[in-house]
Amino acid sequence: MSTIEPIHVIGGGLAGSEATWQIAQAGVPVILHEMRPVRGTDAHKTEGLAELVCSNSFRSDDAETNAVGLLHQEMRTLGSLIMAKGDANQVPAGGALAVDRDGFSDAVTAALEAHPLVTIERGEIGGIPPEEWSSVIIATGPLTSPALAEAILKLTGETSLAFFDAIAPIVYRESINMDIAWFQSRYDKVGPGGTGKDYINCPMTKEQYDAFIDALIEGDKTEFKEWEENTPYFDGCLPIEVMAERGRETLRHGPMKPVGLTDPRNPDKKPYAIVQLRQDNALGTLFNMVGFQTKLKYGAQGDIFRMIPGLENAEFARLGGIHRNTYLNSPKLLDPTLRLKAMPRLRFAGQITGCEGYVESAAVGLMTGRFAAAERLGHPIQPLPHTTALGALINHITGGHIETIDEGPRSFQPMNVNFGLFPPLDAAPKAEDGKRLRGSAKAIAKKKMLTDRAREDLAAWLSAARMPAAAE
């Protein structure tokens, strides 16, 4: 038996299972702690590892023009257990990768139980892990046990960890019509890190505003799950449709107030209401709709938000929502290898870091496991290129997001992998004859250039870092 001190992983979901596998495959012993069935959760039904508690889909498997499909490919290249067992338990789903949830969980559980360097211990870790555990990965997901969540709160000094996560829609900057919208901060205020032109402003007439309010009130909404109903809203954030129901003018005196803003194309006419979007990432490719947290169903959101002048052709990196979640303010609290700055022996993985989705959670677990194993073995840790799907996702979590440019609550929100997290291309895509592409042809060509670049850079990183690809 190896004399290498084991790494401890807390949480047997997708992230914890993947991290455990990566550590063991690197030749380092690992102890996986899963509290089920000793302590259950409101969402899980079994005691299996990597249980899928919601959808059985890993989303698109298109690695040429889809960011999550590219993430699938990169994970397969790095020997992902989650992807291997997902592929082995695939069910028909068109261009998506969907799995038989029970077969998938059983296969992941069996693989980890059979690995000679993996020990699985059932039971809750009720606080900060013991000091003698010199390397720990916390991968407890959105339903972290209350005792552990409270311990993390005390350690990080954050004001809240478990709350209703009020998520505003996030729009790709390039899809906003700047012939209608303009850059300006309210009263031209220059906040910390700001310039006085930090918001994109979309103006509305009274007729447009009234139609928008009607659509908000009439739009289809989702309901809270039973186990969410008694969790208070974070920072008092109310859904915009709830604000609209409280009075037709409520939004116009709240997040849509037009004061302190002037349309440069029509300076003598005051807009009746204004929707503001604020830069969401350091690359400037994503903007979030300020104050637009919502329980509208996704289909309704796209239709209603495109009623806003300037957003008629908006493409969304993510749509809005409000649900119970547990995640860290990771850009502030974690270093680039996902270590907690306040206690570097602790790393975090999965949804608790602020990623969203099965595949993203497993991807962060994959890299956290590799980082921890390399550290334990005394190997250098090479940062991932931000041009890869894995690197772009981790960069967003650990530092690619910008803090709010004015006073208010933190703005870091959970995020699926998307091309808005990738550094822009050096050149615009062109047709074979050298002419500029437009419309859908341009969009597809751009995505293809991003995925080609990602594959090249991942291959170069693997070679330079001398890290193994998929294990035999």
Instruction: Please give the annotated binding residues, written as ranges.
Output: 11-16
Pairing of strands 96-99, 90-91: antiparallel
Tokens representing 48 are 């299996």
CA separation for the pair 157, 151 (Å, rounded): 10
Report whether 370 contacts 467 (CB < 8 A).
yes
Q: What angle do CA 421, 427, 430 make, to 5 degrees?
A: 115
CA separation for the pair 207, 285 (Å, rounded): 31
> Could you tell me which residues are annotated as the binding site for FAD?
11-16
* Backbone torsions φ then ψ of 455, nearest 5 degrees: -65, -40
Tokens representing 355 are 């990623």
Q: Which of 217, 237, 245, 250 is nearest to 289 (CA)?
A: 237
Q: What angle do CA 129, 153, 118 make, to 5 degrees?
A: 30
Give the CB-side neighbour count of residue 405, counting CA atoms within 13 A.
23
Tokens representing 450 are 């991003």
Long-range Cβ contact pairs of 142-149 (< 8 A, separation 24 or more): 142/324, 142/325, 142/326, 142/327, 142/351, 142/352, 143/41, 143/42, 143/43, 143/44, 143/326, 144/326, 144/352, 145/35, 145/39, 148/10, 148/124, 149/326
- Number of residues written out for the chain: 472
Q: What angle do CA 245, 246, 247 make, to 5 degrees?
A: 90
What is the Rg, in whole angstroms, of the alpha carbon atoms belonging to the chain? 23
Concatenate the DSSP letters of all residues of 159-227 into one string. S-SEEEEEE--EEEGGGS-TTT-EE--GGG---TT--S--EEEEEE-HHHHHHHHHHHHHS-B----GG
* Backbone torsions φ then ψ of 405, nearest 5 degrees: -90, 0
Report whether 198 contacts 405 (CB < 8 A).
yes
